[in-house]
Structure 1
């Protein structure tokens, strides 16, 4: 109860400056006098339970300093700005005190009877008080029958000769003697602690045994007849020899957890002056019933043969933050009960089949932040109890070695693709890799029993759909933040990626550059309760875009203009801050809903503001009035009749327009069929000319598959006899072995037109840009419009203007853009065909550009 109260008060102290609360006050239970320039203990009511007096200048504490405070449980006198003098029975009037904190105060004088009269004192903090050996050997802690925790760290203690009164401290469980100056501890010094069980004993950072010569035959076992749940001897500068001698000396003492961090065992990388631990180093701990050994933060380079063979009861072994580069055969021999192995933050580069032999019960292996690039196939195969494998932040490029285990961490590696291997897991973490193809996502969604899948910060951007939609009845949480799903979805592929995830409850799609949601993409997510679309580029949400049973939605940081409040009917909470609202009458329904909804709206009202018009930019939506936006009342009969007539006429006209627009692709096909029946095909009758090819298609080799499906199969005569053009492209028509520049020049001057398919890959391809320059040179030479530029994908004007040759073209000429809507493709191909067939008239230097831009019909 006292510890909880102390923790609560600590939170109050940390937060009170931010809350603007005075540091000198009394509320009936707590007297808070921090930094109040006090020079003596203030008088407080007898109802006080906590008295905090740190950061003052109190010099003396005597019996008269305190009135009789029967209810006081916590007293803090630490960190006084002046030296502190504590006289005999100074705290006698505090009979129920549980915690006494004097830490951080320099104590010039401490009477040996200073702590008498405190029968219920459980925790005494005397850290960093400048105390000497006398505090231990002169009986300062007599009669403290309830004392459990004693903190004497950061003092000037040089000897651990304990006063016989320590034998009477039957409640004592924890002693912290770290950061003193204790060079040696022998059996006779700790004799009063024999027969006791301590949960924690710290002798860390004392240079213990490291700067003196120890005659262990005289010193003997300092922990004889003790039971230590945790012994901390970290930071004492122990090498292999000191560790071995210490282990042999304490042979037989029961130490369940030994903490030996920040040691100097091992030669590190590139040195040989210090030794790695061998099978004799820890041999003396064979009868200590040790369960946990922490030898992290050192310089161990190699795990030698049977180095831990005597620690047969060990369950947790921490080897993190060493320099381990190799694991010898049977290094873990004898660790038959080990369950947790931590070898993170080392220098391992390869793992072999024999590395973990002997770990029959290991359940958790932590190998993160090494340099592992290769793992043999059977390295983890025979670890039957393995439950969790952590290989984050390594250099892995494949996962053939993976066993079927519940939890797999593989984030921060170099995985480009995933092999189709049998895999079973409950949890898979693959963040910060280089996965691009959504086929890998389809594969992972088919892993049996998978419940949580984390794929943040990959590169998912395209899809060659070889997998059927996943029927996964177990997946509950899917994280796909910071990918590029927009590129895949705008190409019309993988719209069914979430189909079959009937038990998915949480989906994160933050930062995927989404400017639209494919129709029905969430239709099958009937169990989805939470959806995050934060930080995308969505401008509108349509009915049916959101799952019907959705409860929590984060759509902040998008570009929503006038959201429809009916879309949010199922929600219980949402975040819609930092969008680009247009504060006109179209937004009035949303503003009205926002002011009256019972849905929990996250974020500050100031974060929902107008972006347009300029007069309202930055104004909170909660401050916008919707007056004047209501519809007019009922019209009179004459006006109503006229209204009905106009409305019906306009509706019929709009229906026709909408039908034509909606099915414009079919309309265009029927138009072309009718044209072919009524008129002779101009291609069949066209005259031959001087050109070898109708057009030279210039594109990046990385776009070949798309170009083949989108253009060549519909235009090139060698792909189909129904096509009309003899096209030239590098993969088929360039002469092998001939200079690439010569091939490009020949293609440019042998073709009637040059069609450059400018994509992101095109802009990164030096040969493509070179071909574009040659095509421009031809246009200048014969004063023609032979160059046709087609922009593919979501390239903005900014991306095009970054390249000098392309910048000159787009500044003076217009270009085509590949349509986003699939039904516009036939129309686009017809337009491109007309551009290729069009013969250029002789023109003057100031002739105008004939090529008209093609815009996408949304």
Structure 2
């Protein structure tokens, strides 16, 4: 098989070659993916080469500086090979290298980024899906211009203090899917430019005082799927630039009052799938406009799948910039949900109380929500819906009530009164509907009914409505029986 050439790019992938081709014509980009190479030959020189990709071969070693005759290389892709050791002179001579991809190998030791032969101009280094056992303090001392480092999906249990201290330009650090057990307040020391840090899917149990003190420019922090049990006031000290914090899938039972006090730019907080049993207004100190000088505030809060039983009037009252509030999958009861609990949330667009223990609610439950567009109340224990139950929600376009404790008399003819903007209604599990139940819904386009509806003459109004609208329900054939 032959190579394919287009302009200054030569593609010799999938041709079963064992070495690099000659430089005919002059080549700037050479693709040698998925061949039979077991080593990288010193020749030919390829003096014009800027990008070389030898991914998915069988290369086992990088001995004797194999790239030194290609000094202009800026991008080098070595992913998907069988490299075990990255020796100190592996990239000697590559003084202009900017991007290096070593992902999907079997690398256990890394020496190439600590000495005088390091590619010191390197900006992006990908070492994900290898087999290093630790991160040593000297590992990256020879690549001070790194802006992105990917160490994810390895088997790293420990990071020596100060391992990243020389990476003053680093903006993105991926450490997810490792075995990291412990962080200290010196783990991230010196990372003054770091914006994005991903630590998801590790085994971190505790976050020490000021653990992120060396990375005060952080804007995005992902701690999903660890074993963290509590958040204290000093955990996030000095993270004044953080805008998004994800702590889903931990074992958080306790958030100290004022723990988010320093997070004065935070707009997204996700505590999905933890074991929180209670919250209060003090939990969210620092996240309200009154706590800030620029009138901003938290916009997204996810408390899905915790163990909350109550929501009081004051809990969210100060979070007046909130647009999304998810309380899905808790144990909130009607007795525990105070009327007016959301009354100050005039900017709220989406509210989920799906899969709780609600048996009833009143119109006062959802007062003060003029901007609400989506309300999820499905999979509760609500038996009846009173007339004009959603009267305080003039902007509501999507209402999910599916799989409650429905009966044939669950809905009053005026239950949906004044929902003039509603477009989507989900009531799967309903067995019957009163005549003219949809007459208040001029914008309704889609109704999801499920398979439990009993066809009788009481749903003639529904049949007439289905004939009128352009978007028909998937259960039209069932309703045809009654028409």
- TM value normalised by structure 2: 0.80
Q: Quick one: distance in 2 between partners of 1:576 and 1:303?
A: 49
Paired residue for 2:94?
193
Q: Quick one: distance in 2 between partners of 1:333 and 1:116?
A: 53
Q: Quick one: distance in 2 between partners of 1:384 and 1:569?
A: 42
Match of 2:146 among 235, 255, 275: 255
Q: Quick one: distance in 1 between partners of 2:300 and 2:446?
A: 27
Paired residue for 2:292?
none
Q: Quick one: distance in 2 between partners of 1:311 and 1:175?
A: 26
Paired residue for 1:477?
350
Q: Quick one: distance in 2 between partners of 1:183 and 1:372?
A: 39
Paired residue for 1:124?
31
Paired residue for 2:377?
509
Please identify which structure carries the higher helix content: 1
Superposed displacement of residue 157, structure 1: 3.5
2:80 is the alignment partner of 1:173: no
SS of the residue corresponding to residue 525 of structure 1 reads coil
Q: Which has the higher contact order (CA 8 A, sep 6+)?
A: 2
- In 2 relative to 1, CA 404–602 (structure 1 residues): closer, same or farther, beyond 3 Å? farther
CA contact (8 A) 1:334 1:358 kept: no
- In 2 relative to 1, CA 229–440 (structure 1 residues): closer, same or farther, beyond 3 Å? same
Q: Quick one: distance in 1 between partners of 2:206 and 2:164?
A: 19
Superposed displacement of residue 457, structure 1: 2.0
Paired residue for 1:427?
300
SS of the residue corresponding to residue 507 of structure 1 reads strand
Q: Quick one: distance in 1 between partners of 2:425 and 2:75?
A: 50
CA contact (8 A) 1:373 1:394 kept: yes
- In 2 relative to 1, CA 373–576 (structure 1 residues): closer, same or farther, beyond 3 Å? closer
Q: Deviations over 1:383-421 (max 9, x none)?
A: 4444444333333334344323279xxxxxxxxxxxxxx
2:293 is the alignment partner of 1:393: no
Paired residue for 1:553?
425
* Matched ranges for 1:765-844 at <5 A: none
Q: Quick one: distance in 2 between partners of 1:164 and 1:586?
A: 83
Paired residue for 2:294?
none
2:109 is the alignment partner of 1:209: yes
Larger Rg: 1
Q: Quick one: distance in 1 between partners of 2:103 and 2:300?
A: 40
Paired residue for 1:237?
132
Match of 1:575 among 447, 450, 462: 447
Paired residue for 2:160?
277
Q: Quick one: distance in 1 between partners of 2:259 and 2:245?
A: 12
* Matched ranges for 1:99-118 at <5 A: 100=11, 102=13, 107=16, 109-110=17-18, 112-113=20-21, 116=24
Superposed displacement of residue 256, structure 1: 1.0
Q: Quick one: distance in 2 between partners of 1:590 and 1:384?
A: 50
Q: Quick one: distance in 2 between partners of 1:549 and 1:99?
A: 58
Q: Deviations over 1:262-293 (max 9, x none)?
A: 55555xxxxxxxx65224x334x24x522223
Q: Quick one: distance in 1 between partners of 2:76 and 2:356?
A: 50
Match of 1:600 among 471, 475, 479: 471
Match of 1:133 among 8, 21, 39: 39
Q: Deviations over 1:792-817 (max 9, x none)?
A: xxxxxxxxxxxxxxxxxxxxxxxxxx
Q: Quick one: distance in 1 between partners of 2:71 and 2:302?
A: 53
- In 2 relative to 1, CA 535–151 (structure 1 residues): closer, same or farther, beyond 3 Å? farther
2:266 is the alignment partner of 1:380: no
Q: Deviations over 1:239-267 (max 9, x none)?
A: 25xx223233x1x541111222355555x
Superposed displacement of residue 527, structure 1: 1.9
2:476 is the alignment partner of 1:621: no
Q: Quick one: distance in 1 between partners of 2:460 and 2:255?
A: 61
* Matched ranges for 1:439-838 at <5 A: 440=312, 444=316, 447-463=319-335, 470=343, 472-485=345-358, 487-489=359-361, 494-536=362-404, 537=406, 539=408, 541-546=411-416, 547-560=419-432, 564=436, 567=439, 570-584=442-456, 587=459, 590-594=462-466, 596-603=467-474, 607-609=475-477, 620-622=478-480, 624=481, 626=483
Unaligned runs of 5+ in 1: 1-60, 62-89, 267-274, 408-423, 610-619, 627-858
Match of 1:347 among 210, 227, 236: 227
CA contact (8 A) 2:276 2:307 kept: no
Paired residue for 1:150?
53
Paired residue for 1:814?
none
Superposed displacement of residue 333, structure 1: 3.8
2:184 is the alignment partner of 1:304: yes
Superposed displacement of residue 123, structure 1: 7.3
Q: Quick one: distance in 2 between partners of 1:149 and 1:178?
A: 14
- In 2 relative to 1, CA 125–406 (structure 1 residues): closer, same or farther, beyond 3 Å? farther
Paired residue for 2:284?
402
Match of 2:139 among 231, 246, 253: 246
- In 2 relative to 1, CA 176–448 (structure 1 residues): closer, same or farther, beyond 3 Å? same
Q: Quick one: distance in 2 between partners of 1:162 and 1:239?
A: 27
Unaligned runs of 5+ in 2: 290-296
Superposed displacement of residue 301, structure 1: 3.5
Superposed displacement of residue 602, structure 1: 4.4
Q: Quick one: distance in 1 between partners of 2:236 and 2:263?
A: 8
Superposed displacement of residue 180, structure 1: 1.9
Superposed displacement of residue 570, structure 1: 0.8
Q: What is the RMSD of the two structures over their aligned residues, measured on CA atoms?
A: 4.0
Q: Quick one: distance in 2 between partners of 1:581 and 1:233?
A: 52
Superposed displacement of residue 101, structure 1: 7.8
